[in-house]
Chain A
Amino acid sequence: MITEESRGEAVVRLDGVRKEYGETTALDGVSLEIRAGEAVAVMGPSGCGKSTFLNMIAGLDRPTGGTVVVHGENVGELSEKGLALYRRRRIGMIFQFFNLVDDLSALDNVALAAQLTGTPARQARRRALELFEELGIADRRNAYPAVLSGGERQRVAVARALMNRPALLLADEPTGALDSRAGEQVMDLLLDLNQIGQTLILVTHDAHLARRCAGRMVEFADGRVTGEHTLEPSA
């Protein structure tokens, strides 16, 4: 989360970022800044490089060229362990297909993120329960992913992403696998989070989601940024 003082500072800075997979260029010289507290929607057709862009910021992949600097850290220069610690401290990720561990209860899925940092189980579960209450799924805390609805699974995934109080919340098609009602609920949740200061980068095909949750839209095509628009929040 950000403070009033830090609001408006660039927390993410991409400068001439390239990513190539063999002969295929996924990102072709992308330069972009994202400020603290912003909600940015990244849109574009399939294969335009949106997810690759998100992966670069999340430290899930390394750029072939250019620099990705997040909170002053050059992500491309971090070691594997450094990247893991960076993801742990700075990043919260939400995936289209939730990516919950089937063998763990909803609560343990969320607590897991904190436990990896060495937080004791009891303390991690307490923090997870607070998040479950905030997100309105406290009654489902002991359920396993297989018995949760899509919307509930995504809320659990959001709770997990927020567990370590990340500076950046990255969401890759967060409503893509949900029905419209569940999608609305998740949109509301992301909007609320941004309104209390959470920096949010959202990759989506859904213009309605982008308009509701984001203040700025970045358009991608063929691995390049082709346009940027400021969005007015929709009712």
Chain B
Amino acid sequence: MRAVWRAARAAVRRRRLQTLVIALVTLTSTAALVVALGLLDAASAPFDKAFGKQRGAHVAAAFDPARVSDVELARTARQPGVEAVAGPFAQAAVELPRETMNFGLGTDLTVVGRGDPAGPVGRLDLWAGRWATGPGEVVLNRQSDWTADDLGKKLRVPSGPDLTVVGFAFDLAGTADAWVAPEQIAALHPTATQMLFRFTDASSQDRLRASLAAVTDGLAPGALTASQSYLTLKQQIGSSARAYTPYLMAFGILGIVVAVLIVANVVSGAVISGFRHIGILKALGFTPGQVLAVYLTMISVPAVAGCVLGAVAGNLLARPFFEFVFMGPDAGVFHDSVGIAPWVNVLALLGMPGVCLLAALAPAARAHRLPAARAISAGSAPRAGRALGIQRRLAGSRLPRSVSLGAGLPFARPGRSALTLAAVVLGVTTVTFATGLATSMTRFGEAGRDAYQVTVYVGAYKNGKEIRPTHTDPELESLLRSLPGAEEVTARADIEVRMAGSAQEMMLEGRRGDRPSLDSVLTEGRWMHRSGEIVAGSAFLRHNDLRVGDRVRLEKGDRQETLAIVGEYMHNDRRLVVTDQSTLTALAPQEKPIAYHVKLREGADAAAYARAARAADPGISPDPVGANTVTQTIVGSASVLTVMLAVVASLGVFNTAVLNTRDRRRDLGMLKSIGMTPRQVTAMTVTSMAVLGALGTVVGIPLGMLGHELVVPRMADAVDITLPAYMTDVWQASALLALAPAGVVIAVLGAYIPGRRAARLTVAQVLHNE
């Protein structure tokens, strides 16, 4: 055993570059694998994971305290089918003044009296400040990607004491808008008692309904006043995360395959290039088993070191990256919760060395069977040439000889070249897929971006007080038109209406002015031309099983209007339809615009316009349009992943080029001795890999296009939108031309350094050693 270890240690020392390459490749591949598996894990069910982590309530139920006591409710925990309960908590409905809109809250708040954020059900993510423990304190439900700037501010409660914001917690299940200490809730006049249930079977709405019915069976009739199922929430929450899922899955799978391929290539190549050494060991008296052990040890040392460092690097890289990807609006993820699942690290740390050993085992077993003399000669004796026909044709071609020699090299080692080619193909597939995705997402993000640059909201808040505009609606519109830089002004109002035959409320948005389409992208039909017409979002049409051309009857109080759907636009709000101002006024005559969208002239400064508007009327809140964060996130994360996978693919090429130049040291020495210049040597080495790069492009681009065709429509489906054709038809000739060099670039990046190294070989030394 000592002999094996000493021989392996000596081999590792002697093959420093190879050892470094194996360590580097396993490091990068393991890091990529950790991120890729982490992505797959995180993207597979973001809501379920976050919900599971919070032990979210399957059902949040409200009971009438006049009909059921807290003791009776506490007893429900012991009912069959109940996994855990939290509560009873007193629950108050609090009406707040409009100024609370500044806190991101509505005017009707559900406030719950709760002693702490932990518990068996509905563990809250207290991400800023502390829990409310005394009178006059409140914790608001807010997702952690928001600011915590409002800490310490006061909420004015007309029907109770003022409350100071002492903390922000996020509750994915949305069981309350705010929490106060149990002693404080009485002052807010609670009207219900909240119970949070987790059931052993929560697989469907019917099961949940049945479980809740069983739990409340023994209670007084009418005790249960309302209930909310997590399945409804699941559909509502996390639409952004749902949009990310298909593309993260695609990247995750690509990452895993690339990492495994490269490692297999590097390790098997290292063993094959060591055949001569294997023969010498056998000649020295090592048994076949010992030879195998030497080689597996030799490979394992850098591989295990690379895997451990790679896992550490993957975890370090994943944290900011996952925060970047998953902390977007509505992603439903908590602070400190993004990270790599333990099973990912275990799998990477065991799996990657396993892949290395398997990859080493096949060629090592071959060497194990080889007689010593043949193993020795495998490293130095002339080989019967391979792919001779190709070499002959290339030798007779018009290409510069260094280029034609290089072009023939990949065919001399077809197995190694095939693995390298596969890595390049996947690298090109990734680049193509990411480019298509980025183009689609950019077009999606840019759609209608030039429609307006400033949104002017009616109303402003100063020192907690609402300030109303000094101008009337027509005056305000004229004012906004008259300010320097304004080109178009479109007013927008919205009201809640009910669709005949449906219990659910929906929003009707009325638009008036220069650009009624605003930033909405039409996917079918046309925009409204006259009163009585509406254009509906794709999500609304899908969920109500409606089509362009159908008619709907909308009700508001005692007024009713039958409207024709004349178009469909790209929007994922299931409750929203758009019409003109006159149709909206027909249903709600008193309703005034809540905002004005202003398109500025080319070159006008949005911030300057906003300042001028604010100065002209202190009762308005101008807001320049910000960046599109979802698009930025997807394009940004896709770029990071693409660069990472392209680097791994390049490392695969680097390894192959290193092995090839090592195998061909004698040839290189001879070629230099007959006058091949350093530049020609570099050109030959780079060409040998560029051929694989070009082949990789030919195969990888269609695969990437196919991936784009499969993934992008699924992303759109996940968020209930229909993408117009111009967002999915991204493969114009110019785009394909730009992608054409992708494989060659990956290959050249990987081959350049080994090529330069080969060019600097000292001929006398090489030929002497051989």
Which residues of A come within 8 Å of B, CB atoms? 51-52, 55, 58, 60-61, 80-81, 84-85, 87-89, 91, 93, 95, 97, 99-105, 108, 111-113, 115-118, 120-122, 125, 144-147, 160-161, 164
Instruction: Supply 8 further A-B pairs (C-beta < 8 A) apart from A60-B767, A95-B767.
Output: A87-B673, A93-B673, A95-B670, A104-B395, A116-B680, A121-B397, A144-B385, A144-B388
Inter-chain contact B398/A121, CB cutoff 8 Å: yes
Inter-chain contact A60/B764, CB cutoff 8 Å: yes
17 contacts between A and B (CB under 8 A): A51-B768, A60-B762, A84-B672, A87-B673, A99-B670, A100-B382, A102-B383, A102-B385, A103-B385, A103-B388, A112-B395, A115-B401, A116-B402, A116-B675, A116-B676, A117-B675, A145-B382
Distance in angstroms between the alpha carbons of A125 and B669 in the assembled complex: 23
Q: What is the distance, in angstroms, from A173's C-beta to the closest C-beta of chain B?
A: 12
**Interface residue from B402, B667, B765 paired with A101 (Cβ < 8 Å):** B667
Inter-chain contact A102/B387, CB cutoff 8 Å: no
Given A61-B763, A103-B408, A104-B395, do A87 and B384 touch, yes or no (CB 8 Å)? no
Residue B396 interfacial (CB < 8 Å): yes
Q: Mark B513-535, 1 if CB is under 8 A from A, else 0.
A: 00000000000000000000000
Q: What is the distance, in angstroms, from B378's C-beta to the closest C-beta of chain A?
A: 13
Which residues of B come within 8 Å of A, CB atoms? 382-388, 391-392, 395-398, 400-402, 405, 408, 412, 666-667, 669-680, 759-760, 762-765, 767-768, 770
Distance in angstroms between the alpha carbons of A84 and B671 in the assembled complex: 10
Main secondary structure of the interface of B (DSSP, over half): helix
Distance in angstroms between the alpha carbons of A99 and B769 in the assembled complex: 13
**Interface residue from A51, A85, A147 paired with B675 (Cβ < 8 Å):** A85
A51 cross-chain contacts in B, Cβ below 8 A? 764, 768
Inter-chain contact A113/B408, CB cutoff 8 Å: no
B770 cross-chain contacts in A, Cβ below 8 A? 97, 99
Main secondary structure of the interface of A (DSSP, over half): helix
Inter-chain contact B392/A105, CB cutoff 8 Å: yes
Inter-chain contact A93/B674, CB cutoff 8 Å: yes
Inter-chain contact B678/A116, CB cutoff 8 Å: no
Cβ-closest chain B residue relative to A92:
B674
B383 cross-chain contacts in A, Cβ below 8 A? 102, 146
Inter-chain contact B674/A160, CB cutoff 8 Å: yes
Distance in angstroms between the alpha carbons of A59 and B667 in the assembled complex: 17
Q: What is the distance, in angstroms, from A146's C-beta to the closest C-beta of chain B?
A: 4
**Interface residue from A60, A88, A121 paired with B395 (Cβ < 8 Å):** A121
Distance in angstroms between the alpha carbons of A191 and B764 in the assembled complex: 26
Distance in angstroms between the alpha carbons of A100 and B667 in the assembled complex: 7
Q: What is the distance, in angstroms, from A140's C-beta to the closest C-beta of chain B?
A: 15
Distance in angstroms between the alpha carbons of A146 and B768 in the assembled complex: 21
A113 cross-chain contacts in B, Cβ below 8 A? 674-675
Inter-chain contact B674/A112, CB cutoff 8 Å: yes
A146 cross-chain contacts in B, Cβ below 8 A? 382-385
A111 cross-chain contacts in B, Cβ below 8 A? 395
The interface centre, meaning the residue of A85, A89, A112, A125 with most chain B CB atoms within 10 A of its CB, is: A112
Given A51-B768, A99-B669, A108-B392, do A144 and B384 touch, yes or no (CB 8 Å)? yes
Inter-chain contact A108/B675, CB cutoff 8 Å: no
Inter-chain contact B670/A102, CB cutoff 8 Å: no
A120 cross-chain contacts in B, Cβ below 8 A? 398
Given A103-B388, A108-B391, do A81 and B767 touch, yes or no (CB 8 Å)? no
Cβ-closest chain B residue relative to A111:
B395
B412 cross-chain contacts in A, Cβ below 8 A? 103
Q: What is the distance, in angstroms, from B410's C-beta to the closest C-beta of chain A?
A: 11
Inter-chain contact A58/B673, CB cutoff 8 Å: yes
Inter-chain contact A80/B677, CB cutoff 8 Å: yes
Inter-chain contact A102/B384, CB cutoff 8 Å: yes
Distance in angstroms between the alpha carbons of A216 and B400 in the assembled complex: 41
Inter-chain contact B767/A80, CB cutoff 8 Å: no
Distance in angstroms between the alpha carbons of A118 and B666 in the assembled complex: 23
Inter-chain contact B391/A81, CB cutoff 8 Å: no
B678 cross-chain contacts in A, Cβ below 8 A? 80-81, 84
Distance in angstroms between the alpha carbons of A55 and B666 in the assembled complex: 16
Cβ-closest chain A residue relative to B669:
A99
B679 cross-chain contacts in A, Cβ below 8 A? 81
Given A125-B396, A144-B384, do A84 and B768 touch, yes or no (CB 8 Å)? no
B759 cross-chain contacts in A, Cβ below 8 A? 80
Distance in angstroms between the alpha carbons of A115 and B392 in the assembled complex: 14
Q: What is the distance, in angstroms, from A17's C-beta to the closest C-beta of chain B?
A: 14
The interface centre, meaning the residue of A52, A55, A89 with most chain B CB atoms within 10 A of its CB, is: A55
Distance in angstroms between the alpha carbons of A147 and B384 in the assembled complex: 8
The interface centre, meaning the residue of A84, A104, A105 with most chain B CB atoms within 10 A of its CB, is: A84
Inter-chain contact A108/B395, CB cutoff 8 Å: yes
Inter-chain contact B674/A88, CB cutoff 8 Å: yes
Inter-chain contact B401/A116, CB cutoff 8 Å: yes
Cβ-closest chain A residue relative to B402:
A116
Inter-chain contact A61/B762, CB cutoff 8 Å: yes
A81 cross-chain contacts in B, Cβ below 8 A? 677-679
Q: What is the distance, in angstroms, from A80's C-beta to the closest C-beta of chain B?
A: 5
Distance in angstroms between the alpha carbons of A99 and B714 in the assembled complex: 59
Q: What is the distance, in angstroms, from B390's C-beta to the closest C-beta of chain A?
A: 9
Q: What is the distance, in angstroms, from A175's C-beta to the closest C-beta of chain B?
A: 17
Inter-chain contact B763/A104, CB cutoff 8 Å: no
B405 cross-chain contacts in A, Cβ below 8 A? 112
Inter-chain contact A60/B673, CB cutoff 8 Å: yes
Distance in angstroms between the alpha carbons of A80 and B680 in the assembled complex: 12
A125 cross-chain contacts in B, Cβ below 8 A? 396
Distance in angstroms between the alpha carbons of A55 and B767 in the assembled complex: 10
Inter-chain contact A101/B670, CB cutoff 8 Å: yes
Given A51-B768, A52-B764, A80-B677, do A102 and B395 touch, yes or no (CB 8 Å)? no
